[in-house]
Structure 1
Amino acid sequence: MTTYVALLRGINVGGHKKVPMAELRTLLAELGHGDVRTYLQSGNAVFSSPSDDPDALAAGLEKSIEGHFGFGASCLVRSGEYLRAVADACPFPAATLEGKQLHATFLSAPAGPERFASLDRAVFLPEEFRLGDRVIYLHTPGGLGRSKLAEALARPALLKGIDATTRNWNTVVKLTEMSDG
């Protein structure tokens, strides 16, 4: 059995696309997954599965959500091992920053530096980003809500063809702990 983390995008935001976490847990259990747990109301779930195909797990969950709730929600599924590697590879001093200052944007596919070459990084200082394995590490000293860099990184042209969902560092740490056992 492998432990996975499901990251749903764009649910329970401003009263739209409501997915109660109890129902999400039920959907995951009905898909045959075990040890199902959720974290917060923003679409974070940890579960175990014998599958070795995270993309198929994500597709199954997306289909189940659409069938149950009547709307689509993109979902990324990553192994607990992957999440641990993301946390361990953080290029910023996570231990010294507040959770609201550091974020991880998880990507459905790799994104190389050439994709972001048009961004003048100096314009956004002291905000910074670094690329990792299907993740963008984002340091926003003033928080994500006021971040001009986060706004620039979210432009459709930069992430064309890639689904992305962002979590603050506190959430990344908690999901890592949950998926570690």
Structure 2
Amino acid sequence: MPTYIAFLRAINLGAHRKFPKDRIVAAVEGLGWTDVRTHINTGNVRFDCSLRSRARIEAALEGAFREYAGFEVPTIVLTPAELRDVAAQAESFGHDGGHYVSFLKDEPSEAVVRLLEERSSAEEVAKVGGRAVHLMLREGYHQARLTNAAVEKQLGVATNRNITVVRALVEKWCS
């Protein structure tokens, strides 16, 4: 049975969007999917399911999460191979500052990618590879203008993880 990794957007960020790991696991298992695991409490979940369509998997998860959490939870699904590719892309950049990855729901057009990448500067660099946007920053994330909000404004629904989490997930779930 195929394995997938889902990234939940905007959970556990305030008093009103709490969605604990045990409820995430219950929601995924409620779909009949198996070998469900989570990593830290920021919305990273691994599971096996027989569906093959990413769009159908995301729709099923979003419905289950809405039921269990009581609010909309946009969800982006990757295969282990796709996540390994994202980590390999990160290694190819050789950046030693802050590195964040925004996972995109849909693959962007070349024109939109060019617009985002043109916003790069010596302090902040954006590189897009498929459905991943690598944000490499010299200053802290909260002082940057190239953030997940900027990515979403140009490229659509996205959720962001730092490269440390991405590497940990590859090590833990994609080996």
TM normalised by structure 1 equals 0.86
* CA displacement at 1:32 relative to structure 2: 1.4
1:61-99 deviation digits (Å, cap 9, x = unpaired): 1101112222111001111111111111224226xx36x
Asked whether 1:107 is paired with 2:101, we answer: no
The alpha-carbon deviation at position 9 of structure 1 amounts to 0.4
RMSD: 2.0
SS of residue in 1 equivalent to 2:93: coil
Asked whether the 8 Å contact 2:113–2:128 carries over to 1, the reply is no
Partner of residue 150, structure 1: 147
Report which stretch shifted further, 146-155 or 133-142: 146-155
Q: Could you say which residue in structure 2 is the equivalent of 1:173?
A: 167
- Identify the residue that residue 62 of structure 1 maps to in structure 2: 62
Q: Aligned partners of 2:148, 2:103: CA distance in 1, in Å?
A: 16
The answer for unaligned runs of 5 or more in structure 1 is none
Question: Is residue 11–residue 42 contact of structure 1 (8 Å, CA) maintained in 2?
Answer: yes
| Stretch of structure 1 that moved more, 56-65 or 108-117 | 108-117
Amino acid at match of 2:61: L
2:134 — aligned with what? 137
**Measured at CA, do residues 110 and 128 of structure 1 come closer, stay the same or move farther in structure 2, by a change above 3 Å?**
same
Retained in 2: the 8 A contact 1:5–1:175?
Answer: no
**CA contact 2:148–2:160 (8 Å) conserved in 1:** no
**How many residues were matched structurally?**
173
Shift of 1:116: 4.8
Secondary structure, aligned partner of 1:14: coil
Question: What is the alpha-carbon distance in structure 2 between the residues aligned to residue 29 and residue 81 of structure 1?
Answer: 23
How far the C-alpha of 1:121 sits from its partner, in A, is 3.4
Question: Which residue identity does 2:27 align to in structure 1?
Answer: L
Please state how far the C-alpha of 1:114 moved relative to its aligned partner. Answer: 1.8
Q: Which residue of 1 aligns with 2:23?
A: 23
Identity percentage over the alignment?
29
Structure 2 stretches of 5 or more lacking a match? none
SS in 2 for 1:139: strand
Return the match for 1:125 from 105, 122, 126: 122
Paired residue for 1:7?
A: 7
